[in-house]
Structure formats: structure tokens, C-alpha cells
Amino acid sequence: MHDPAAVRLVEITLWFWIGQAVGAFARLGVADAFGDQHRTVDDLAARTDCEPQGLLRLLRSLTGVGVVREVSPGLFALGELGQHLRTDHPQSMRDLAVLQSEPWMWRVFEQLPHAVSTGATPIKNVLGTDYYWNWLHQQPEERRVFDAGMVSVAKALQIPTALSYDYRDVHRIVDVGGGLGQVLSAILTANPHISGTLFDQPSTVADAQRTLADAGLADRCSVEGGDMFQAVPDGSDTYLLSFVLMDWDDEHAVQLLSNVAAVLPAHGRVLVLDCLADHDTDTGPSGHPFHMGRTVDLFQMCMGSARVRTRAEFEDLYARAGLRLQALHLPQAPVTLMQLAPA
């Protein structure tokens, strides 16, 4: 009789192959080739310029994880997860699947044992930099892929969390480190009484300006470029930090929070969207426990000197910056919203 624990460990150790298979499926555009139809392997191969036997083997590897299903021998349909790999799906994860299978990501994660045993940051040995952001700024194509993947994450995690908050008392919001502006766009679209400012590095804000203009928000949202570790724009009652603190060590995080606290009015608030390392374990779609924050922490360990923090660690950062945790929203969700006020 098979030992269930041993079989489960076999499954877990094979996940990295499945991750690459999902990445290949996304990168080759197979989900888009299905459209809304059942397709034969030969049809899909012709539509994606793939070798039929190779494609058949890829498809069969993904039947057990919900990406595709084999309707009859050689005839396939998209599964629920496969639908989310179409580029026209409103919650498309296609770009995230491509990002997670990028060679540079895998090269860095190969050094995970070294990081665990020595405390060293693998990205320094692999890519010659202390932070993945520094490297991406010099790699236009990799940066494009990364930004697209982060848009997928925003759609799935950050935006639903951000929209769960009650903004009726908010008048102006500054999104610090707001990237391409997807989260701020969603907030402003859902709350037409709010105006905003997106603040990020000068190399990023031009793309963000296009995002906001495309959303019809150019008249309600300005864009500013600068260094958030030097200063942040003043004149707002609300400041948003979405997936920003997780990218920085304590010293940088306190400096950033202190800059926000310096311009925060007495009645103002700071909204922090981040993962908590100590919320209760979620149950993933497989039925087995999955804790997103603790998994993302491996990325932070390999890609820089930051980490996913516990509630107590966040509160320590806030206190050092002259802020206090006022309320915690969605504490059991993969992404938590923390509301801060002046201390």
C-alpha cells in the first residue's frame, strides 16, 4: 500500500515542473488558441506553431491541475484555470505565469540552499546586485515582463483588497511607489469623489500616466516622479503603500514611513497593503494548506534583504516612524490592509 505522505512529497517536488509547464502554456499562447472551442492537438499545434507530439505531452501534463481537460483522446478543452491564462480574460494570469518561468528567476532560486545556510542574498551572486529592482532597471525586456506580471498580481490580490476599504472620508490619496497605477486607478474609478497622485521613480511614471489617462482619470490624478526615500508629495489626507514595504529592509522601510509621517495631517491615514507572515494558514485550491505570505517570503530572501513581516514587526516599524496601527482589514486574506494614523 502506498504511503500517502510519501506520495504527497512526490507531488510537491514535481510542482516546479508544473510551474514551468504552465509558463510554457502561457508563453506559447495555447489558451488563446482555444478560444471558446474544444480543439484537437493538430489544430492547436497549427495555431501556435508547435510540434504536435510535444504539445500533446504538455497538454496532458496539465490535465491534472485544472488548466485543460481531455474531452476525448486528442481533443482538449480549457479548464477553469486555463481560462485565466487567456489574454482576454478580465482576471488574466497569463503574464504572471510567464514571469514565474523566466530564466533569471530560476537562476536566483537555485541559490536558495545557500541563502538558508549562510544568510547571504543569492541575487548578489547571480545578477550582481543587492535588489532585483536595480537589475530590472537595466534590463528593458525583463522589466516589461516583470511589470506585466505585477499587473496580474494587482488584479488578483491588491485591487480586491484595496476596494474592500470604505473611502467615504477620503478626499485625496497619494499612491507611493504606485508602479503603473492599476491599484490607484481602481480606487479612483470606484470612488469618483477622490482625487489622487501617483508617485514613483521618474523612469516609471511615464507609463503610469498612460494607464491613468486610458482609465479616463487624467483630470483627477496627477503623476509625480521622485525618490520616496528622500520625500513624498504633501497635501493629501491619505497615503497608500501597496506591496512596497515588503521590498525593503527595516532601515529603508522606516525611512519611507517617516517621510510619509512627516507630511501626514493630524486627521490623515496611511493604508498599507501587504502580506502578513503570521495570519492563519489558508487552504489552497488543492485542499492542502497554503500560506501566501510565507511563500512570498522565499522570494524576498532570494531577491534582496527584505522579508514578509508579522503584525508585531510591522507595528515596530510604524512606531519607529511615528505612526500606529489603527485598524486591520481582511487579516486572514492573502493580502491584508492595515490602516495607520499618526502616533
179 vs 199: CA distance, rounded Å: 8
Q: 255 exposed, middle or buried (CB, 10 Å; 0-12, 13-18, 19+)? A: middle
**How many other C-beta atoms are found inside a 10 Å radius of the C-beta of residue 181?**
29
Predicted pLDDT of residue 266: 96
Predicted pLDDT of residue 280: 67
231 vs 239: CA distance, rounded Å: 13
The pTM score is 0.90
Residue type, 273: L
Predicted pLDDT of residue 263: 98
The alpha carbon of 83 is separated from its chain's Cα centroid by a whole number of angstroms, namely 19
Q: Would you say 127 and 72 are in contact if contact means Cβ atoms under 8 Å apart?
A: no
Sign of CA dihedral 90, 291, 145, 186: positive
- Whose cell is 481602481? That residue is 186
Predicted pLDDT of residue 79: 96
Eight-class DSSP state of 280:
P
**Tens of pLDDT, residue by residue, the chain (343 residues):** 889 899 889 988 999 999 999 999 999 999 999 999 999 999 999 999 999 999 999 999 999 999 999 999 999 999 999 999 999 999 999 999 999 999 999 999 999 999 999 988 889 889 998 888 889 989 999 999 999 999 999 999 999 999 999 999 999 999 999 999 999 999 999 999 999 999 999 988 888 888 899 999 999 999 999 999 999 999 999 999 999 999 999 999 999 999 999 999 999 999 999 999 987 655 454 455 668 888 899 999 998 878 899 999 999 999 999 999 999 998 778 899 999 999 9
Predicted pLDDT of residue 283: 47
Predicted pLDDT of residue 304: 84
Predicted pLDDT of residue 288: 52
- Closest to 128 measured CA to CA, from 98, 107, 103, 150: 107
Rounded to the nearest 10 degrees, the angle between the axes of helix 41-48 and helix 52-61 is: 110
Predicted pLDDT of residue 313: 96
199 phi and psi, to 5 degrees? Answer: -120, 125
59 vs 69: CA distance, rounded Å: 8
